[in-house]
């Protein structure tokens, strides 16, 4: 892993430096860093930012959490300034930002879907990795999920539900019933639902494992065939898809099931590119950012590039 991380540090340096303007201003002169990030990265990115600031006290880091799709739309539709966008799904950057707003997309972590609950949740003594579909369909049980048009956790929840119907071979029209149930408990991002769960307004919540761990939540692990966390099931995952709103009005994007991959990019017009480079290198440092990610339940994936790699210099790929 050390070798991979060392190589990755070289790669990211070449990629990021190649995208910089010719400005010779010293990094210390750059005072602000604007980061849009997935809600599920709130805890790890806050920890990384705090650690980064200890080494760079002159830099102000502005962290803004939202669903990954919503983060991208702040750039594409609202023309908001941003240096780094970190997404819970690499496809958000591939499909919504490249090539007009970003040149590259670096994958760095994985995750998996779980169902969180509390000791007060209904049927808590009966629910498990097999019985949960029947229990969630119970009229006395309420569950929450995030908005698929704003948040990858939202459309991944729907994909997980479709996979469950296929994997368990249900004959009760499970997906259509569960997808239309409790829609008043849909929120822009999954972390917005934590208060509803803890207050007892909902009994169960579809959420990422890392977020459940970070908030000390009880959770049910799902079968690897449906939790979108195991690359061995990538072919099975790809059997289902959902439609979400596209980058432009009246357009849509088809999202197929696949193993979860987090990624980040630096925007073409990033106002503080040199500081963004520093922060990106900090994230990928084996003794700094990667340690923080691992300790907070974020599995590090072997570095790999998305198919959208046309602006990565050849020298960065030939070692």
pTM metric for this prediction: 0.85
Structural domains in the chain? Answer: 2-110+261-316 (3.40.190.10), 113-245 (3.40.190.10)
**Phi, psi dihedrals of residue 236, rounded to the nearest 5°:** -70, -40
CA dist., res. 295 & res. 49, Å (int): 15
Q: Strand order in 113-117's β-sheet?
A: 186-187, 143-146, 204-208, 113-117, 218-221
Residue 264 DSSP label: E
Q: What is the pLDDT of residue 117?
A: 98
**Residue of 266, 264, 245, 263 whose CA lies nearest to 255:** 245
CB neighbour list of residue 284: distance below 8 Å, 6 or more residues apart: 5, 8, 9, 12, 108, 290
Q: What is the pLDDT of residue 34?
A: 98
Q: What is the pLDDT of residue 7?
A: 45
List per-residue pLDDT tens for the chain, 319 residues long. 444 444 455 455 545 555 554 444 444 465 799 999 999 999 999 999 999 999 999 999 999 999 999 999 999 999 999 999 999 999 999 999 999 999 999 999 999 999 999 999 999 999 999 999 999 999 999 999 999 999 999 999 999 999 999 999 876 789 999 999 999 999 998 889 999 999 999 999 999 999 999 999 999 999 999 999 999 999 999 999 999 987 777 889 899 999 999 999 999 999 999 999 999 999 999 999 999 999 999 999 866 554 554 454 443 332 1
């Amino acid at each position: 892993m050390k070798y991979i991380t060392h190589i990755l540090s070289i790669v990211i340096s070449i990629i990021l430096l190649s995208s910089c303007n010719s400005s010779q201003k010293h990094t210390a002169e750059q005072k602000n860093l604007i980061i849009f990030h997935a809600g599920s990265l709130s805890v790890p990115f806050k920890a990384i930012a705090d650690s980064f600031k200890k080494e760079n006290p002159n830099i102000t880091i502005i962290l803004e959490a939202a669903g990954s799709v919503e983060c991208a739309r702040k750039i594409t539709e609202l023309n908001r300034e941003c240096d780094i966008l970190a997404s819970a799904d690499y496809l958000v950057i591939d499909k919504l930002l490249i090539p007009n707003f970003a040149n590259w997309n670096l994958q760095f972590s994985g995750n998996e879907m779980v169902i969180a609950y509390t000791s007060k949740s209904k049927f808590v003594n009966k629910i498990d990795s097999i019985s949960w579909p029947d229990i969630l369909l119970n009229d006395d049980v309420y569950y929450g999920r995030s908005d698929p048009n704003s948040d990858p956790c939202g459309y991944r929840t729907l994909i997980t539900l479709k996979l469950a119907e296929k994997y368990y071979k249900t004959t009760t029209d499970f997906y259509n019933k569960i997808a239309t149930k409790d829609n008043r408990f849909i929120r822009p991002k999954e972390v917005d639902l934590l208060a509803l769960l803890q207050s007892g307004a909902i009994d169960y919540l579809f959420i990422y494992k890392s977020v459940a761990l970070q908030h000390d939540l009880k959770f049910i692990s799902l079968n690897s065939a449906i939790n979108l966390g195991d690359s061995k099931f990538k072919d099975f995952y790809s059997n289902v898809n959902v439609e979400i709103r596209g980058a432009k009005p009246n357009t849509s994007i088809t999202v197929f099931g696949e193993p979860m991959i987090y990624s980040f990019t630096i925007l073409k017009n990033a106002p503080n590119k040199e500081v963004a480079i520093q922060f990106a290198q900090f994230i990928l440092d084996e003794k700094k950012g990667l340690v923080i990610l691992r300790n907070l339940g974020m599995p590090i994936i072997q570095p790999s590039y998305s198919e959208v790699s046309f602006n990565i210099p050849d020298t960065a790929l030939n070692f």
